Structure 1
């Protein structure tokens, strides 16, 4: 593909993303699946423009002087990312063949402003909505700029080793033999980080269930449960089962693991992953219902609540999501999270552990929810996580992770324990 055609492709993708209801990475993947003629270098160049545009949407709009269209956003991203310069870009825009149409006067003026804008507000430099500034500052304080710079980067590809089938050392050797550059994760003892973007679906370690794709932060959430063989553990918001898989491995397939969700449909997506991991016969699944809650009350050594949240910790992966998020929505989610953790606590036995987690960076969804729970439930008390997560600082109500400090997605995890009977 010629450079002009790459610009056109980036514009097409951004238009599709703007109209879609699904995550940006799925739109991008589908675009390239339908255009097999795009080579590896073409995909890399187009992806570079698209993801720069998504991660810098706010600053591009500010720099160009308007709420930029997908077309102007793509062209500004091509300039700001170093793909080309404004004069060369204008020369490409001829409208001939696969080239973009000629620049309008407004587009020419917008691109011309890229080199003239001086200092910008923090929310522009960090590419987040101004309305979220108080929430982000509450969490990060003086670190906000560094964190948002990290959020603008590409998320790593992390794997979790299925210890039911292999050790981390064995998998590292296998991946090296396949030509992949892989290193141990810094914090998770079962994590591996892949350098570069690799397609794993057809590789033997993935197809045969020795590895699963899972961000290191998500792995740490599962480790906070301190699962052991023989325990009874419930994954209360199991979804597609990523953390249930990790818990099953930590339990060595011994004991009882119940994966729950409000929708049976979500749990059905877990089945092929369980089969690949070799634990389909071990993990129970069930939809949450009043009858189940009454039957299982007080039955579990540990209950994991990976609560629905704002997903603000995953902005590296879905940067467009930040622009639809508001403080009111965060408050609504916090109220829901409080209701969910209250319900899940009914399943914890005396002396048992309740682990609450989100992939949110907002304290309103994290520490505030835990503090509110402890006020409503005096029979529960905070449980330090230093033993389960060595080397990570617990703030008294939990552990907060972010891409600048730990190199993970943004996660929060907290553990509380129920008083023993008598």
Structure 2
């Protein structure tokens, strides 16, 4: 494989933004990719996928190069080590001249005794995973270091899975229907599906397979009044609308107005008219909706410990303090937002985390509280990456007593 210098320079620039300027990987890459309109799809894919993979293995690569990267030259060394370990011949560039490939190979073989380095996570995060997940942690961590599959959710308001699969095939996108996920198609090859006519026509959204199970857990019916209280940009909101056949009303709430603005655009493309975006400006917004929802989704902010394969930079941005503080927020949301559910209604609490302290322990704490005394846990599920091959999620279905 021939490596073009300008593409490698783009990777190095993106890595410097992510690690030295503390920018999120997606934002850094967005800026880098917009800087050169002449790059084709293959060039852009190389920049993005190489950057994400190096971010994923940053600690291991730092270890084998023998230093904590602190300069542009160090980042070039990291890139060189990655190329070498991936089996590529290094280009004859000055940035790689000082690399000792034999020493890199030796150090790589020596780190297998340290799973935190081997799987490339901070020590504190490895120890937290051991405490919370137990003997399954190493398997889950390994699964979280694999590249995420590209999965589509069929918009059943506009098409069927079979029809969409045929349309995408005609456009040059080969997909697999996932048996256990009725609305899901998985790309056989990584491609930019956002350029497809099917996407522009609102036939699908890109959404992880396990993420698609959250809306299904709501057990919604057409005509219901549903509140999605932490809607964000609305991926699950749109799925709920499709499951309700665009009949009824969905109040999509969030504290960030710009996220709900994105949801409006997505809803228009999807042909969804049943969603009413509503910004949470204060607790009054919540109180006005007391006991009004047949179904309530609390897809709460979390550590993201189930989605590291698609957000590998969060390994380096997370902290123990953040995880503790987000757990306080999760319980506050359960305590306050649960009041929007009608008696005899069903609430789903969900996270994209695999940590019990964010999941079942939060539900148990809620049920033991005054606010949760009228609720019953019907069922819950842990969706684990090492078992399913997709993102990690937790879902709990609770019923409010009549």
Establish whether TM, by shorter chain, passes 0.5. Answer: yes
In 2 relative to 1, CA 10–22 (structure 1 residues): closer, same or farther, beyond 3 Å?
closer
**Number of the residue aligned with 1:66:** 67
Q: Where in structure 1 are there 5+ consecutive unaligned residues?
A: 95-100, 385-397
**Number of the residue aligned with 1:93:** 93
Task: State the shift of 1:74 in Å.
Answer: 1.2
Listed one character per residue, the Cα deviations across residues 364-391 of structure 1 (whole Å, up to 9, x for unaligned) are 111111111111112111112xxxxxxx
Residue from 380, 383, 389 that aligns with 1:407: 389
In 2 relative to 1, CA 49–80 (structure 1 residues): closer, same or farther, beyond 3 Å?
farther
**DSSP-derived class of the 1:297 partner:** coil
Q: Where in structure 2 are there 5+ consecutive unaligned residues?
A: none
**Number of the residue aligned with 2:228:** 235
In 2 relative to 1, CA 407–232 (structure 1 residues): closer, same or farther, beyond 3 Å?
same
Residue 316 of structure 2 corresponds to residue 311 of structure 1: no
Cα distance in 2 for partners of 1:2, 1:158 equals: 30
Residue 22 of structure 2 corresponds to residue 17 of structure 1: no
CA contact (8 A) 1:138 1:363 kept: no
**DSSP-derived class of the 1:318 partner:** coil
For normalisation by structure 2, the TM-score amounts to 0.91
**DSSP-derived class of the 1:312 partner:** coil
Provide the aligned length of Structure 1 versus Structure 2. Answer: 391
Task: State the shift of 1:200 in Å.
Answer: 2.2
CA RMSD of aligned residues (A): 2.1
Residue 180 of structure 2 corresponds to residue 187 of structure 1: yes
Residue from 98, 104, 112 that aligns with 1:114: 104
Cα distance in 2 for partners of 1:332, 1:230 equals: 37
**Number of the residue aligned with 1:196:** 189
Instruction: Spell out the pairing of 1:51-200 with structure 2 (5 A cutoff).
Output: 51-68=52-69, 69-84=74-89, 88-89=90-91, 92-94=92-94, 101=95, 103-104=97-98, 108-109=99-100, 111-117=101-107, 118=110, 119-200=112-193
Instruction: Spell out the pairing of 1:351-390 with structure 2 (5 A cutoff).
Output: 351-376=344-369, 377-384=372-379
Task: State the shift of 1:358 in Å.
Answer: 1.0
Listed one character per residue, the Cα deviations across residues 188-232 of structure 1 (whole Å, up to 9, x for unaligned) are 211111122222223222111111111112111111111111111
CA contact (8 A) 1:160 1:190 kept: yes
**DSSP-derived class of the 1:381 partner:** strand
CA contact (8 A) 1:187 1:216 kept: no
**DSSP-derived class of the 1:416 partner:** strand
In 2 relative to 1, CA 269–41 (structure 1 residues): closer, same or farther, beyond 3 Å?
closer
**DSSP-derived class of the 1:319 partner:** coil
Cα distance in 1 for partners of 2:14, 2:266 equals: 30
Cα distance in 2 for partners of 1:186, 1:144 equals: 27
Cα distance in 2 for partners of 1:49, 1:283 equals: 38
Segments ≥4 residues shifted beyond 4 Å: 19-22, 39-48
CA contact (8 A) 1:50 1:74 kept: no
Residue from 255, 263, 266 that aligns with 1:270: 263
Cα distance in 2 for partners of 1:39, 1:129 equals: 35
CA contact (8 A) 1:165 1:209 kept: yes
Residue from 242, 247, 254 that aligns with 2:240: 247
In 2 relative to 1, CA 272–41 (structure 1 residues): closer, same or farther, beyond 3 Å?
closer
Task: State the shift of 1:55 in Å.
Answer: 1.0
**Number of the residue aligned with 1:417:** 399
